[in-house]
Structure 1
Amino acid sequence: MKSLIVYCSTHGTTAKATHLLRKQIEGDVIVINLDKTKLHSDLELFDSVVIGGSIHAGSIQGKIKKFMKEHEDVLERKNLGLFLCCMREGQEAHLQFENAFPPNLREAAIAKGLFGGEFVFSKMNFFEKIIAKSVSGETTDLSKLDVGAINEFANTFNRQNKFLLV
């Protein structure tokens, strides 16, 4: 089984989540940060694809949107996983997930995850700090990264991936 994890990470939280996830996905796993590397591989080479991003100013990263749009047909045929890092919880987090990923990919996904998020003020620019403070009231670094949700996603993904590949 060969899997690809594609992600973007503005301040490092999605990178942390991706690396925790990578350790738990069974088989050969290739990880590509679209902020640093352009995808040069054919998606047909992979049995499964996981896409992860985070929410900033209400939207997922543009490179993730572009990746999904450019590869939509192939992604719909793959064992697909989708995850989002965000600071919202409950229904608000689910709405952000729905807005981040197109309906057809959400429908096709064998695993979906909300992994929590972080405010890393030391990596934010002036405007990001203002927005984070107004949204959360926080002024110092805060982590709500949900390792349990990452574990649950990996277990579901591995189980479904095995089932679908048989």
Structure 2
Amino acid sequence: MPLKVLLIFTSREGQTDKITQTMAEQLEALGHHVERRLLTANTAPMSDLSSFDWVVVGGSIHYGKHEAFLANFIQRHLSGLSQTQTAFFSVNLTARKADKNTPETNPYLNKFLSQVGWVPTRTQVFAGALLYSQYNWHDKLIIRFIMWLTKGNTDTSKDIDYTNWPSVKAFARSLVE
């Protein structure tokens, strides 16, 4: 029987959008109904969360934090989220490191869930993309410095996609298996 899945996400540079699109394609290929909603600071409250079999929420890290409106959304909808199966995934460059690429070891995911007081059914973390070509000069300078501190790529002439796409697809499949 087809399941009804809602993917709610925030995305600054588009990587979380690509991740949810890949999840949607994977779930739809398995015969499930998928709805994707980009969450913004102006998104109206949603009253229909319990009408979905799965609600999957994803957010990316920007300057060490998930968007405040993502936290507000979750806190405002804790009741609806508790009435269905839920998943949360975090997209961050820290997850490019082997010792920070699981839900148990990723500090951003754990800190965020602790702050919002939500315990989703499933969690996952995905490495994001380093998109120097899309950053303004200020962001490029700061992100390059952060990458230098964390022994990452500092070559601003190229973008790097760290996302493990087979893991994204596997996570989507695991929701409905």
TM-score by length of 1: 0.84
Q: Is the 8 A contact 1:8 1:63 kept in 2?
A: no
2:166 alignment partner in structure 1? 148
What residue in structure 2 maps to residue 95 of structure 1? 107
More helix per residue: 1
- Structure with bigger gyration radius: 2
**1:114 counterpart (88, 105, 125):** 125
Query: 2:37 pairs with 32, 37, 45, which one?
Result: 32
Alignment identity in percent? Answer: 24
Partner of 1:51: 57
Q: In the comparison of the two structures, how many residue pairs are matched?
A: 157
Other-structure match for 2:72: 66
1:162 is matched with none
2: CA distance between counterparts of 1:124 and 1:70?
32
**Matched residue, 2:89:** 83
Q: CA deviation at 1:21?
A: 0.7
**1:125 pairs with 2:136:** yes
Spell out structure 1 runs of 4+ moving beyond 6 A. Answer: none
Calculate the TM-score normalised by the size of structure 2.
0.79
Structure 1: segments with no counterpart, 5+ residues: 160-166
Q: Which moved more, 1:65-74 or 1:130-139?
A: 130-139
Offset, 1:81: 1.1
Residue range with higher mean Cα deviation, 95-104 or 130-139 = 95-104
Amino acid at match of 2:159: D
* Per-residue Cα deviation, 1:120-155 (whole angstroms, up to 9, x for no partner): 122222332122101213223111011122022112
* Contact 1:49/1:80 (<8 A) preserved: yes
1:101–1:127 distance in 2 versus 1, CA, 3 Å = farther
- Deviation per residue, 1:26-58 (Å, 9 max, x gap): 521110011397255521221210000111111
Give the letter for the 1:147 counterpart: W
Write the deviation string for residues 47-91 of structure 1: whole angstroms up to 9, x where unpaired: 210000111111111221111111012212311111111111244
Structure 2 gap ranges (5+) = 149-153
CA distance 1:23–1:37, shift in 2 (3 Å): farther
How far 1:9 sits from its partner (Å)? 0.5
SS of the aligned residue for 2:173 comes to: helix
Matches within 5 A, 1:3-22: 3-22=5-24
48-57 or 95-104, which moves further after superposition? 95-104
The answer for the alignment partner of 1:163 in structure 2 is: none
